[in-house]
């Protein structure tokens, strides 16, 4: 058995001091306090120096340097294969779709938590999105 802390990846399209990004940064702090290694994966942009300096030592920032989330798919697959996180946390619909797809392609076994907040009628109007979310539920659902 290894003493290496379990790794959790928190995915974020880009960073701004509001909403989902702020919530995810707070989540990274909380998970790190519980002894996990956390990768804060940014698809584009960079984490401001003051935020980076405030991170615990067991939180690492991984920057994929892609302007569009979908363009990050190959880099995310490579990241998953190399780092093999035990869990992946994503929010925002486009990010969820890329995260689920990258996990499927990389063939690693990781729990995934996806969330997004849109009216049900909007979700129903996007057949591809609905299909991918249903596939994710079948492939990655972990009952509590």
What domains sit in the chain, N to C, each tagged with a CATH number?
Answer: 7-140 (3.40.50.2000)
CA 103 to chain centre: 11
Cβ neighbours, 10 Å, residue 46: 13
Question: 51 or 108, which is more confident?
Answer: 108
CA 35 to chain centre: 19
User: Going along the chain, which residue ranges are E strands?
Assistant: 7-12, 37-42, 59-63, 87-91, 111-115
- Whether residue 35 is predicted with pLDDT greater than 70 in this model: the reply is yes
Q: What is the mean pLDDT of residues 7-17?
A: 84
Cα–Cα distance measured from residue 130 to residue 111, given in angstroms and rounded to the nearest whole number: 20
- Whether residue 27 is predicted with pLDDT greater than 60 in this model: the reply is yes
| Residues 61-115 pLDDT 10s | 999 988 888 888 999 999 999 999 999 999 877 888 899 999 999 999 998 888 7
Q: ∠ at Cα 91 (114, 11), nearest 5°?
A: 100
Question: 130 or 99, which is more confident?
Answer: 99
């Amino acid at each position: 058995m290894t003493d290496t802390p379990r790794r959790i990846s928190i995915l974020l399209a880009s960073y701004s001091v509001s909403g989902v990004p702020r919530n995810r940064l707070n989540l990274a702090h909380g998970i790190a306090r519980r002894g996990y290694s956390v990768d804060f994966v940014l698809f584009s942009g960079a984490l401001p120096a003051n935020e980076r300096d405030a991170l615990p030592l067991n939180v690492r920032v991984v920057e994929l340097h892609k302007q569009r989330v979908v363009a990050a798919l190959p880099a995310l697959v490579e990241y998953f294969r190399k780092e093999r996180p035990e869990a992946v946390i994503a929010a925002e619909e486009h990010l969820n779709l890329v995260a689920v797809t990258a996990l499927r392609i990389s063939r690693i076994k990781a729990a995934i938590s996806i969330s997004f907040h849109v009216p049900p009628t909007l979700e129903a109007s996007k057949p591809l999105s609905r299909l991918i979310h249903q596939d994710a539920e079948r492939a990655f659902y972990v009952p509590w």
